[in-house]
Amino acid sequence: MTENKAMKAQAAASGSAHDDLTNGESQSKVLSDSLTRLEEENKIIQNTINKLQEESAMLRELFDKASNELNNLKKPALLVSEVITSEGNHAVIKLPNGNKFYCNVSKDAGNLLPGDSVLVEQKSLNVIKKIDLCTNFDVEKYVIIEKPTESWKDIGGLEIEKREIQEVIELPLKKPGLFKKIGIQPPKGVLLYGPPGTGKTLLAKAVANSTKATFIEVVGSELVQKFIGEGAKLVKDIFDYARRHAPAIVFIDEIDALAAMRMETGTSGEREVNRTFMQLLAELDGFEHLGEVKVIAATNRVDILDQAIIRPGRLDRLIEVNLPDEKGRLDIIKVHSKNMNLNGVKLPALVPEMENFSGAEIRAVCTEAGYFAIRENRDYVTPEDFLMAIDKIRIEDEEDESMILG
Ligand code: ATP
């Protein structure tokens, strides 16, 4: 009996030991599972921390940039001025209002030359740095630059003038070697003078086309009226541009607005025109006779021109472009009516009717004759259309003249 009890007790003891073992195993599994879970969670948290750190670095960078920008925006603006002369670390500068100052120049400004544009501190007027204002963009914005399509065939008459301009402009650009061989220097440019609408611009464009030159058109009156204070600089920039885009022809229409004789240079406006004119002379003196830049100037008022512009070495070839004679008028009307649908029109019969007409007026006659036909619902032009157009242009011309005479 006692033995039986003891056996039972032993069996119970061994059962509980087995249970303890199983419990221990399952606990350790639970622990290892939760450890793995915690490790995974830890990894996720670590990744999140890394991401947040990256984001925070990015935000800090953005903040730095924004606060830098804000600081820059708070700084006072710098003045743009022009250097008149410079000497060591000092320079005389001219502010946009015309006042001149002797100022300190910062080391960063580098070597300054007269005419350079610089940034200047508003209070101290110290020169901070040099800036490049004469970009191509400026010149392209202010003057007409093109590759003209007008050819010699589009010019009626003007045979002598065409030949002269070909000799002076076209030949040196196309065959500079010939001039070197013979040992002569071709003119740097020509002055075309004569009444309005006689084909001066047309001649300049045709020679640019035949030499494949860049055609830069400047109007003298605009140079002095539109670009007050900037005329001389613009002239410099235009010639820089021409040199960079050679072969080039600089065509200056209404040169009299710049180069008219002046008795005195009293007012600031006159001084400004004079400065622009001086810059033009300096440019003309500064380039080679056989270089690839040529100047063609045009005027209706040769009588008032300052002789300095036509001195040897400058625009020393003068070509008069006058109103066309009978043959010239016929050639011009042929040019402008070549695409018109004419019916019974004898062009030579119209020529005597257009006495004293310029090329521009003859072109206007052709356009008006076309309009008379359109008004009558016709698709062809008759001699009567031309005669009515001639009358119309003559009356307009007389009205213009009487307005000028007052
Ligand atoms: P302005 O002195 O007023 O500037 P301009 O002498 O330069 O005048 P252009 O502008 O060349 O005259 O001429 C104006 C227009 O008249 C030309 O575009 C052209 O259509 C016509 N024209 C003038 N002369 C001739 C010509 N000889 N042959 C053909 N067309 C001509």
Residues 6 or more apart whose Cβ sits within 8 Å of residue 56:
none
Q: Which residue has the tokens 């007027």?
A: 125
- CA–CA gap between residue 292 and residue 17 (Å, rounded): 112
Q: Please check the confidence at residue 136 and state whether its pLDDT lies above 50.
A: no
Q: What is the pLDDT of residue 236?
A: 85
Q: Which residue's CA lies nearest to atom 19 of ligand 1?
A: 360
Q: Which residue's CA lies nearest to atom 11 of ligand 1?
A: 199
Tell me what the mean pLDDT of segment 255-265 comes to: 72
| Domains defined for the chain, CATH in brackets | 79-131 (2.40.50.140), 140-320 (3.40.50.300), 326-405 (1.10.8.60)
Residues 6 or more apart whose Cβ sits within 8 Å of residue 381:
340, 341, 342, 343, 345, 369, 370, 372, 373
Report whether residue 134 contacts ligand 1, using a CB cutoff of 6 Å. no
Report whether residue 300 contacts ligand 1, using a CB cutoff of 6 Å. yes
Please report the atom of ligand 1 found closest to the CA of residue 156.
28
**Are the CB atoms for 186 and 317 separated by under 8 Å?**
no
15 versus 400: the higher-pLDDT residue is: 400
Report whether residue 329 contacts ligand 1, using a CB cutoff of 6 Å. no
pTM of the model: 0.68
**Are the CB atoms for 79 and 122 separated by under 8 Å?**
yes
* Ligand 1 probe mutation, 152, 158, 198, most atoms within 8 A of CB: 198
Q: What is the pLDDT of residue 233?
A: 81
56 versus 8: the higher-pLDDT residue is: 56
Report whether residue 319 contacts ligand 1, using a CB cutoff of 6 Å. no
- CA–CA gap between residue 321 and residue 160 (Å, rounded): 9
- pLDDT, averaged across the chain: 86
Pairing of strands 127-131, 100-104: unpaired
Report whether residue 157 contacts ligand 1, using a CB cutoff of 6 Å. yes
Report whether residue 298 contacts ligand 1, using a CB cutoff of 6 Å. yes
Q: Which residue's CA lies nearest to atom 1 of ligand 1?
A: 196
Q: What is the pLDDT of residue 266?
A: 58
Report whether residue 305 contacts ligand 1, using a CB cutoff of 6 Å. no
Report whether residue 284 contacts ligand 1, using a CB cutoff of 6 Å. no
Tell me what the mean pLDDT of segment 305-319 comes to: 86
Tell me what the mean pLDDT of segment 172-179 comes to: 88
Q: Which residue's CA lies nearest to atom 2 of ligand 1?
A: 196
**Best-predicted range by mean pLDDT (76-90, 155-169, 211-225):** 155-169
Tell me what the mean pLDDT of segment 324-346 comes to: 93
Report whether residue 155 contacts ligand 1, using a CB cutoff of 6 Å. yes
Report whether residue 363 contacts ligand 1, using a CB cutoff of 6 Å. yes
Q: Which residue has the tokens 């001039």?
A: 179
Q: Which helix (H) or strand (E) holds 232?
A: helix 231-244
* 17: amino acid identity, one letter: A
pLDDT band per the 50, 70, 90 thresholds, residue 264: low
Give distance in angstroms: CA of 333 to centre of ligand 1: 12
Q: What is the pLDDT of residue 10?
A: 73
pLDDT digits 0-9 by tens, 369-381: 999 999 999 999 9
Percent of the chain topping pLDDT 70: 89
CB atoms inside a 10 Å sphere around CB 222: 16
Give distance in angstroms: CA of 156 to centre of ligand 1: 10
pLDDT band per the 50, 70, 90 thresholds, residue 321: very high
* Ligand 1 probe mutation, 160, 193, 201, 358, most atoms within 8 A of CB: 201
Q: Which helix (H) or strand (E) holds 381?
A: none
- CA–CA gap between residue 379 and residue 373 (Å, rounded): 7
